Structure 1
Amino acid sequence: MTPTLDLEFDNLEEAWQYWVGYGKRMGFGVRKENSNKSKKDGSIIYYKYVCHKEGVRKPDKRDFKIRKPRQETRTGCEVRMIVKKVNGRFRVSELYLDHNHPLEPQETVHMFASQRKLPEAQGYALEAAEDVGIKQKASFNLMSKYVGGRANLGYTEEDIKSYLRARRQRKMCYGEAGCLLRYFQHQLIENPSYFHAYQVDSEDRITNVFWADPRMLLDYDCFGDVISFDTTYSTNRENRPLAIFSSFNHYREVVIFGAALLYDETIESFK
């Protein structure tokens, strides 16, 4: 069904799904361009949906430094569908369907960013693979093998990375790492001198964590001439080294300058 000016939608999600479906049938990707909000109540009253080749990329001032510049994919295509809110419904107010580029065949249209989707069942399989230590690339190759090649998957390796990253972020909200980071933020609000830092690996998972409260920092200024660094306290259930920076004060009492929860005892972690 070709869009017409007499089309109306109950909400913006319905309008977006219609535009996605139309792009799939015709062979082009789609994007959300911009919107306007009402000054009265802040609700959206205007939305513009466009072809994925709309506009042109702005020149990059760093071009002379880039060894492998990205391929230009936009052609300034003016295909668009604009909807405006009228009497509580969204009506198509402007429509232009003349592309300035060839359309894609149906065999490849599923690989447009607007069409790619990770099935729920395969998402669970990827989560299980990550939990047992299988690398993302190996999981992607395995899924490709099941369906007869990457072109039949309907998603890319980048989609897997995004999916698993979002999953880790959701778990972090309720997991141990999330509790630890919330504790750090709370301490920082109470005292801006509180210091903490953490490192993540190539897959955005937290590895090494360091912290020092204001008392530790003050003790370090006073008694930091000699420092003991000890990582013998691997007594937590994850068996991760807890590193302690410590020394003695003028009463020969032990003072702690800082602590770090490490992923392992490698040179990279110690640095």
Structure 2
Amino acid sequence: MDMKPENDCAWKPKHGMTVDFEQSVYDFYNTYGGRMGFSIRKDYYTKNKFTNQLICRLLVCNKEGFRKVDKRDPLAKNHRAENRTGCEAQLYVKLDEGTRKFVVTDFTEKRNHDLVSPECAHMLPSQRKISTTQAIELDLAAQYGLRLGQSFELMGRKLVGGNVLGLQN
């Protein structure tokens, strides 16, 4: 799948690019992952021992690595499906002490799995988002005894423009 818009410089990570905040790094790489068709997750980080400030952060594809052996219950009937493939896609940033900005020091695009189509990218784990208003609506629905699944179904019908109460016009 080749997804190259006319100007791919603005949305694709580049070695040496700078970002102001850690959350901005995550948001930028998550947007890139969503456009490309993969989900991301935070891997490891290093903090300064004295100031407790983040020094570096590694963001990876959610299919990076392999699952460790589960030692809890060998007789479990419903094991979760394996979703890790050892993907090597990653973004590594370090804090530049002089500018106090995060600098991309390593960016790897190498993937070993299929990418998701743009129509389905919103269902990837790192792409699932709800607004503050939706979160408040979910809390209110829970207070009135609606289960989470019912609340999401209600919200989905409302977004699609469906008749929530089932009444005819």
What is the TM-score when the length of structure 1 is the normalising length?
A: 0.51
* 2:93 is the alignment partner of 1:83: yes
Q: Partners of 1:129 and 1:38 in 2: how far apart?
A: 43
Tell me which residue corresponds to 2:83.
73
Matches of 2:63 and 2:112 in 1, distance apart? 9
- 2:23 corresponds to 1:6: no
- Asked if 1:122 corresponds to 2:130, the answer is no
Query: Within 5 A, what are the aligned runs for 1:106-145?
Result: 106-145=118-157
User: How many aligned positions are there?
Assistant: 148
Does the aligned pair in 2 maintain the 1:79–1:98 contact within 8 Å?
yes
Residue 49 (structure 2) aligned to one of 29, 35, 39: 39
What is the DSSP-based 3-state SS (H/G/I as helix, E as strand, rest coil) of the residue aligned with 1:114? helix
Query: Offset of 1:6 from its aligned partner?
Result: 2.1
Question: Which protein is bigger by CA-based radius of gyration?
Answer: 1
Greater mean deviation of Cα atoms: 83-92 or 58-67: 58-67
**In structure 2, C-alpha distance between the alignment counterparts of 1:124 and 1:37, rounded to whole Å:** 34
Equivalent of 1:60, from 60, 66, 70?
A: 70
Contact in 2 for aligned 1:24/1:110 (Cα 8 Å): yes
The residue that corresponds to 2:110 in the other structure is 98
**Given the superposition, is the C-alpha separation of residues 64 and 91 from structure 1 closer, same or farther in structure 2, using an over 3 Å criterion?**
same
Cα shift at 1:146 = 2.7
Check whether the contact 1:63–1:69 (CA below 8 A) recurs between aligned residues. no
How large is the Cα RMSD of the aligned pairs? Answer: 1.7
Measured in 2, the distance between the counterparts of 1:9 and 1:117 equals 22
> Residues 89-120 of structure 1, C-alpha deviation per residue, up to 9 Å, x if partnerless?
11111111111101111111111221111222
Identity of aligned residues (%): 36
Unpaired stretches in structure 1, ≥5 consecutive residues: 149-271
Point out 4+ residue stretches in structure 1 off by more than 4 angstroms.
none
Matches of 1:138 and 1:10, distance apart in 2: 40
Question: Which structure's residues are more often helix, by fraction?
Answer: 1
In the alignment, structure 2 segments of 5+ residues that lack a partner are 1-10, 161-169
Tell me, in whole angstroms, the C-alpha distance in 2 between the residues paired with 1:64 and 1:77: 27
Secondary structure, counterpart of 1:64 in structure 2: coil
Name which structure has the greater RCO, CA cutoff 8 Å, separation 6+: 2
Equivalent residue number for residue 26 of structure 2: 16
CA distance in 2, matches of 1:91, 1:68: 43
Distance 2:19 2:125 in 1: 23
Whether the 8 Å CA contact 1:84–1:92 is kept in 2: the answer is yes
AA at the equivalent of 1:56: F
- What is the CA distance between 1:63 and its match in structure 2? 5.6
Q: In the superposition, relative to structure 1, how do residues 130 and 78 fare at CA in structure 2: closer, same or farther (>3 Å)?
A: same
Question: 1:42 offset after TM fit, Å?
Answer: 2.5
Q: Give the CA deviation at 1:85.
A: 1.2
For 2:81, give the aligned amino acid: Q
